[in-house]
Structure 1
Amino acid sequence: MIVIPAIDLKDGQCVRLRQGEMDDATVFSDDPLATAQHWVNEGAKRLHLVDLNGAFAGNPVNGEAVTAIAKQFPHLPVQIGGGIRDLHTIERYLDAGVTWAIIGTAAVKDPKLVEEACREFEGHVIVGLDAKDGLVATEGWAEVSELKATELAKRFADCGVSSIVYTDIARDGMMQGVNIEATLEMAHAVQVPIIASGGVSSIEDIEQLLDTGEIYGAITGRAIYEDKLNLRAAQQLCDQRKK
């Protein structure tokens, strides 16, 4: 399993939100590139970038910061989500050096986009499913649908998505621990690598995810910024379990 630090971008700054509320943001840095360098120094094997403004606007807003990070660390896998609603945006990010584009809201509203993207950019597409009480949330979590996240995941299982980032938005940014049960339900629903997100806030959360033996990765944000979780120690624990 890999532990993936999140860099959430809002107005060019690195922030963390509570339950996706744009008005409830904590600014951790005004230098995204320096933040990325910090996590690289701490042993990050991948970076998870989110264009928060883009998620609400429906198109990239913090693209310059994303591009700068991808170019600064050409050998480090980078995944980006937020505001990716068409093939052109995916192509631009991949051309800039990003490894994976995460399709979130558009996957719910336009499932054919995922199919087309997987054909056009094979191996470079991740679906981001955000859920509350098991139901899919969209538009930067501003709307909750009546669609079960596991049912939607099944639609994309055969499309060729590289993985699914599953976020429990009730836990995100709340430091309440990861929703193991819901994450495992997702892992059992599809034969696609699952990356857990939302509430990953302690080494115990990492241990619990490792104990399942079924989760590919874990995204963490607020916990590593507030020193509640040590990224290097968490990744070392994962590496030790492999041996």
Structure 2
Amino acid sequence: MTIYPAIDIKNGRAVRLLQGRADQETVYATNPAEVAATFKAAGSEWVHVVDLDGAFAGSPHNLAQIEAIVATGMKVQMGGGMRDRAKVMRALEIGVSRVVVGTRAAESESFVAELVAEFGQRIAVGIDAKAGKVAVKGWVDTTGVDAIEMAKRMDAIGVSTLIYTDIGTDGMLTGPNLAAQEEIAHAVTAHVIASGGVSKREDVVALAEIEKRRPNLDGVIVGKALYEKRVDLADLLHLRAG
């Protein structure tokens, strides 16, 4: 299971939002690249980066900070405002390893299919769910689209990586929605990365147990628990290796 430490960027700073709410912001660092460097020093190869300004506005606002993270030598999985081909291309050009499409994926399967045909495994789809329904535009709007049905459709058009976030648990440090994560992994053949709610080492252990049954649940994003020092990244990476 790949551990993806997370950096959410808003106004150039590394922050965390409670359940995605812009008015519930905690600033953890003024230089996101320095945070990434600590993740690399702990042994992480990947970092999951969200341009929150981009997610809310529909166009990336923090590419300079993301380029600086790329310069640390880490593989960057990045989302936030990736709503047309030009924006995806720009992210790939600055060295992002995998671009995450969320809002536009919920609106247009053909858009995703075209990206997958052109860029293959460098395209991931983020499915953010609130009570089982897909949320978009930085989680501001909830659609009537069923999250599992969307996952199946993305899987069918060849998306190799799905990131499933349970909004109800994100930033709450209450533990991930294990049942929902297993249900998504059971429904698709794509790789699934779990996101939302990790609060302690045991949460990652529990997801690793699901991986034994559903080998495609092979990644987990860890955010607030790292910043609040409830988990140690080097320990999680060692757990994964073991």
TM-score by length of 2: 0.96
1:157 aligned to 155, 158, 161, which one?
A: 155
Distance 1:156 1:164 in 2: 8
Asked if 2 retains the 8 angstrom alpha-carbon contact of 1:123 and 1:160, the reply is: no
1:239 aligned to 226, 238, 241, which one?
A: 241
Q: Which runs of 4+ in 1 moved over 2 A?
A: none
Pairwise CA RMSD of aligned residues? 0.9
Q: Work out the number of aligned pairs and report it.
A: 238
- 1:158, distance to aligned residue in structure 2 (A): 2.6
Is residue 2:181 matched to residue 1:179? no
- 1:210, distance to aligned residue in structure 2 (A): 0.6
Secondary structure class of the residue paired with 1:191: coil
- 1:110, distance to aligned residue in structure 2 (A): 1.9
Asked if 1 retains the 8 angstrom alpha-carbon contact of 2:36 and 2:72, the reply is: no
- 1:153, distance to aligned residue in structure 2 (A): 0.8
Task: Report Cα offsets for 1:92-135 as digits up to 9, x if no partner.
Answer: 11111110000001100122111111011111100000001111
Distance 2:22 2:175 in 1: 21
1:38 corresponds to = 38
Distance 2:33 2:155 in 1: 34
Asked if 2 retains the 8 angstrom alpha-carbon contact of 1:71 and 1:96, the reply is: no
1:192 corresponds to = 190
- Identity of matched residues, %: 42
1:22 corresponds to = 22
TM-score by length of 1: 0.96
Task: Report Cα offsets for 1:128-169 as digits up to 9, x if no partner.
Answer: 000011111111111111111010011111322231000000
1:102 aligned to 86, 100, 103, which one?
A: 100
2:7 corresponds to = 7
2:139 corresponds to = 141
Asked if 2 retains the 8 angstrom alpha-carbon contact of 1:43 and 1:235, the reply is: yes
Secondary structure class of the residue paired with 1:5: strand
1:117 corresponds to = 115
2:222 corresponds to = 220
Distance 2:205 2:219 in 1: 12
